[in-house]
Structure 1
Amino acid sequence: LICLQVSVTNKSNNGSDVQPMASAPPSYEEATAGGSPCYSGAYPGDSEMLTEFSWDDQNIRRIFIRKVYTILMLQLSVTLAFVAVFIFCEPVKYYIQTNPGWYWASYEIFLHITRCQVFDRPISYLNISPLSSYYNTKSVIICLGITALVCLAITIFSFQTKIDITSYQGVLLVFCTVLFICGLVLAVILLFGYVPWLHAVYAALGAILFCMFLAFDTQMLMGKKQYTISPEEYIFATLSIYLDVVYIFSFFLQLFGTPERE
């Protein structure tokens, strides 16, 4: 190995070697006058790089939102097809009405694994479809229309408003507690008799709660809030919004629907 040692010297005009003079360090004012080089544009092209990174992040978020709502529309379309079979096919509707054990079994399973990402979609089909068969066909269609309009309005509001709904987790917790207590009271009272107005209050509270959850999950999907969903978790985001819509429809059906046997 041959090591080369390079000596750097300054030459004066007459050719003599002159040792370099050390310059004085800059003052604090001089050092900070231009700001941070990462954000002040001191480096060539840094503003273009920051703009490109910001654009890439927004583009990824838009693709994520588009993917979520595409899958959501497919899920809701299949759910609507199942509901249509149970309300328009008279043999299926009659079988469910005369064998309520199937409905209660599906409802029990739905309550236990409703937040499981593997099973919540088929169980939602099995639960919401038998529930629809117990109500008048016209009232089911009306409740579907109301659910669609309410969900559309909440989605537009969540995208347009500057209010950070994801920061109101305490309010959602209070509503969940109230709904849980009302459900327990209603279950106890049902042992002695059916109270229509109490059932209506419970359904109204449930509809309000899951409308709030829909706004909460929608803003988590959008990003740039206190709590956001990673673009890699599009399955979780889709299922969260899907369950919100299903719950809203079920509570609207209990609130506005007309039972088939009346």
Structure 2
Amino acid sequence: MTSKIDNPPPYEEALQVPKYGNYPHQPQHGSPLPPPPSYTPSPGMFPGPPGYWGQEGVYPRAGMWAAPGSSPTGLPTTIPTLSAGVPATNPGEMEDFLSTQWESTSIRHAFIRKVYLILAAQLAVTFSVVAVFAFVDPVRQFVIRYPGIYWASFVVYFVVYCILVCCKEPRRRFPWNFLLLGVFTLALSYMCGTISSYYDTKAIFIAMGITAVVCIAVTVFCFQTKVDFTSCGGFLCIAAVLLMIVGIVTAIVLSFQYVPWLHMLYAAIGAIVYTLFLVYNTQLLIGNRELAISPEEYVYGALSLYIDIVHIFLFILQISGAATE
């Protein structure tokens, strides 16, 4: 227990000027103790009304404020920011940041234009070859009579594709990148022309029209939607494996003339899967999603879109050819 004399003074008395200097009366027990050091907080530590801080004792001295609302004497008038350790942003830094953002956006737009120009040239060559193989009857008969050229073009297509995908230097260094891309385009164009030779001209035009509509719709969708398809790479890999399995089963079943509609089902699944791949690669090209293609990889960007569009055309050609027959 504590005696009544040891209790702290009431609140009203504490607000008054102390009677014993700067400190309340301390009872003396035995030898006198040295007075405690005076506590003077740093100026501006306890902001409040000027009249309240004018008391003596543990508070700052009176007269520290010249007028209500003014800053303490000798203190800077600037208010510190809340970002500890981070300098305040000045207009020059903000202009540098905006210029950097504008440069990155302009670089991405130039990259997209370059990719689509290359893609347009590739598609023009491919559909020109397909048109020649579809309308010129001697060429059609030559392709059907010598299938070995088709397999040779398939080997060239596969080898050049592996070089362009696996090796970065050939697809980044001029003129090797455009040379390999040209060889790849000619090989795949010959393959498309050979396959188109086995179908009617009406089916070829239907497939071309549907492919064009699908590609335009996918491009507009990718530039407008906020859905991120670049995070669905695992799902697309599973879809590609499923397509390969269905293709193997279809080849085995059709060799025994079982389930004739299975061929159209496989073509429909392939068209859907490569449409999803076209969405994925287009959003990689745009660059405002989770994943993006580097602006230096314009050859790879055009290559991926070109393969997707050609495969969509071939799968739709199988459906339209079976429908016209």
- TM norm structure 2: 0.66
Please give the alpha-carbon distance, in whole angstroms, between the structure 1 residues aligned to 2:259 and 2:142: 27
- What does 1:118-129 align with in structure 2 at a 5 Å threshold? 118=180, 119-129=183-193
Report the CA distance shift for 1:152/1:71 in structure 2 as closer, same or farther (over 3 A). Answer: same
- What does 1:138-177 align with in structure 2 at a 5 Å threshold? 138-177=202-241
Please give the alpha-carbon distance, in whole angstroms, between the structure 2 residues aligned to 1:98 and 1:191: 21
The answer to whether structure 1 residue 185 and structure 2 residue 232 are counterparts is no
Alpha-carbon contact 2:254-2:260 (below 8 Å) kept: no
Is the deviation greater in 243-252 or in 165-174? 165-174
- The aligned residue for residue 213 of structure 1 is 277
Unaligned stretches of 5+ residues in structure 1 = 1-23
The answer to whether structure 1 residue 33 and structure 2 residue 33 are counterparts is no
Please state how far the C-alpha of 1:191 moved relative to its aligned partner. 3.2
Please state how far the C-alpha of 1:187 moved relative to its aligned partner. 2.1
Is the deviation greater in 114-123 or in 154-163? 114-123
Match of 2:268 among 172, 186, 204: 204
Cα deviation code 1:188-218 (max 9, x no counterpart): 2233236431111111111001100000000
Give the secondary-structure state (helix, strand or coil) at the position aligned to 1:229.
coil
Give the secondary-structure state (helix, strand or coil) at the position aligned to 1:167.
coil
Alpha-carbon contact 2:133-2:196 (below 8 Å) kept: yes
Please give the alpha-carbon distance, in whole angstroms, between the structure 2 residues aligned to 1:62 and 1:103: 38
- The aligned residue for residue 74 of structure 1 is 121
Please state how far the C-alpha of 1:113 moved relative to its aligned partner. 5.4
Alpha-carbon contact 1:72-1:242 (below 8 Å) kept: yes
Amino acid at match of 2:207: C
Unaligned stretches of 5+ residues in structure 2 = 1-41, 46-78, 165-179
Report the CA distance shift for 1:35/1:178 in structure 2 as closer, same or farther (over 3 A). Answer: same
Amino acid at match of 2:111: F
- The aligned residue for residue 3 of structure 1 is none
Please state how far the C-alpha of 1:136 moved relative to its aligned partner. 0.5
Cα deviation code 1:152-190 (max 9, x no counterpart): 100110111000000011221221121111111122223
Please give the alpha-carbon distance, in whole angstroms, between the structure 1 residues aligned to 2:251 and 2:191: 19
Report the CA distance shift for 1:190/1:255 in structure 2 as closer, same or farther (over 3 A). Answer: same
Please state how far the C-alpha of 1:61 moved relative to its aligned partner. 0.3
Report the CA distance shift for 1:248/1:116 in structure 2 as closer, same or farther (over 3 A). Answer: farther
- The aligned residue for residue 228 of structure 1 is 292
- The aligned residue for residue 63 of structure 1 is 110
Please state how far the C-alpha of 1:225 moved relative to its aligned partner. 1.1
Please state how far the C-alpha of 1:138 moved relative to its aligned partner. 1.4
Please state how far the C-alpha of 1:226 moved relative to its aligned partner. 1.2
**Cα RMSD after superposing both structures:** 2.5
Alpha-carbon contact 1:64-1:231 (below 8 Å) kept: yes
- The aligned residue for residue 130 of structure 2 is 83
Amino acid at match of 1:212: L
Report the CA distance shift for 1:91/1:124 in structure 2 as closer, same or farther (over 3 A). Answer: same
- Tell me the percent identity: 43
Report the CA distance shift for 1:107/1:195 in structure 2 as closer, same or farther (over 3 A). Answer: farther
Please give the alpha-carbon distance, in whole angstroms, between the structure 2 residues aligned to 1:149 and 1:71: 20
Give the secondary-structure state (helix, strand or coil) at the position aligned to 1:231.
coil
- What does 1:100-111 align with in structure 2 at a 5 Å threshold? 100-107=147-154, 110=157
Please give the alpha-carbon distance, in whole angstroms, between the structure 1 residues aligned to 2:263 and 2:322: 13
Please give the alpha-carbon distance, in whole angstroms, between the structure 2 residues aligned to 1:105 and 1:49: 54
Report the CA distance shift for 1:84/1:116 in structure 2 as closer, same or farther (over 3 A). Answer: farther
Which of these two proteins has the greater Rg computed from alpha carbons? 2
Please give the alpha-carbon distance, in whole angstroms, between the structure 1 residues aligned to 2:85 and 2:198: 67
Alpha-carbon contact 1:167-1:227 (below 8 Å) kept: yes
Alpha-carbon contact 2:156-2:184 (below 8 Å) kept: no
- TM norm structure 1: 0.80
Alpha-carbon contact 2:278-2:308 (below 8 Å) kept: yes
Higher relative contact order (CA 8 A, sep 6+): 1
Number of equivalences: 233
